[in-house]
């Protein structure tokens, strides 16, 4: 018995469903025309069966829920990286790829999700469309936010297994800048003869500052 070869559409569907990332075909009005299995498993079966809906509705974007008119009408929508990816495809840009963060809400539960967004122009059913791929990197981002700290000396371990002090680590990995002072406990321990006078002077300055703030508000 000869097995019939799959059609081009069936073959393409099989390929898309084999991709673990979420894949959408989107028109330039930001409406979803097709979605793969990963998208349906992540955002619910509506991602596949309720097509022609706006992308923000299907992925449960929190901004979409904050506006009566829905996706595309909030002040945040022009800065949406998903929309930028679709716009880049409309302009025939070869590839758009960017990491983005979005607040999603589904079944009453809100979460912050991190995606790598890829957009590219394609032909779908004879019309120019946008291929939109979302790679969920939320778990990876959250793991990177965990800082390994020694439970004894409080040094921090870097990716190359070097142990250094916390301030140096934060200075290299964030935009934080530090200035130094001394807390009352350390002041009394290190400079006991001067501690009382310094603490009283600091309290007097703080009290004067609060009084100035009160006068400026009245």
Task: Name the DSSP class of 91.
Answer: T
Residue 41: closest CA among 122, 106, 109: 106
**How far apart, in whole angstroms, are the C-alpha atoms of residue 122 and residue 132?**
10
Q: Rounded to whole angstroms, how far apart are CA atoms 47 and 53? A: 9
pLDDT in tens, 31-48: 998 888 888 888 776 555
- Determine the distance from the C-alpha atom of residue 98 to the mean position of all C-alpha atoms in its chain, rounded to a whole number: 11
For 80-137, list the strands marked E by DSSP. Answer: 96-106, 109-124, 127-136
Q: What is the maximum span of the chain, computed from C-alpha positions, in angstroms?
A: 99
User: Which residue's entry shows tokens 């990995």?
Assistant: 173
pLDDT tens-digit series, residues 54-63: 888 888 898 8
Residue with token string 């929508």: 77
Contact between 138 and 22 (Cβ < 8 Å): no
Print pLDDT tens along the chain (218 aa).
344 444 566 777 888 889 889 999 999 999 998 888 888 888 776 555 556 888 888 888 988 888 788 888 888 898 999 999 999 999 998 889 999 999 998 778 888 899 999 999 999 888 999 999 999 998 877 767 777 888 878 788 876 777 888 777 777 766 667 788 888 888 888 898 988 888 888 888 888 888 887 777 66
């Amino acid at each position: 018995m000869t097995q019939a070869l799959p059609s081009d559409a069936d073959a393409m569907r099989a390929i898309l469903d084999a991709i673990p990332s979420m894949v959408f075909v989107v028109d330039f009005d930001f409406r979803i025309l097709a979605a793969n299995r990963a998208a349906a498993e992540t955002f619910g079966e509506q991602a596949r069966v309720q097509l022609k809906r706006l992308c923000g509705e299907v992925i449960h974007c929190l901004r979409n829920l904050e506006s009566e008119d829905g996706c595309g009408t909030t002040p945040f929508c022009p800065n949406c990286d998903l929309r930028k990816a679709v716009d880049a495809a409309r302009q025939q840009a070869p590839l758009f790829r960017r990491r983005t963060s979005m607040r999603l809400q589904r079944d009453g539960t809100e979460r912050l999700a991190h995606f790598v967004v890829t957009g590219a122009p394609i032909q779908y059913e004879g019309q120019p469309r946008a291929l939109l791929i979302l790679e969920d990197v939320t778990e990876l981002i959250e793991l990177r936010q965990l800082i390994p700290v020694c439970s004894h000396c409080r040094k921090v371990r870097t990716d190359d297994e070097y142990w250094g002090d916390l301030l140096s680590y934060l200075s290299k990995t964030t935009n934080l800048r530090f200035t130094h002072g001394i807390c009352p406990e350390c002041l009394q321990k290190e400079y006991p003869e001067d501690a009382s006078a310094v603490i009283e002077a600091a309290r007097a300055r703080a009290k004067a500052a609060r009084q100035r703030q009160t006068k400026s508000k009245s």
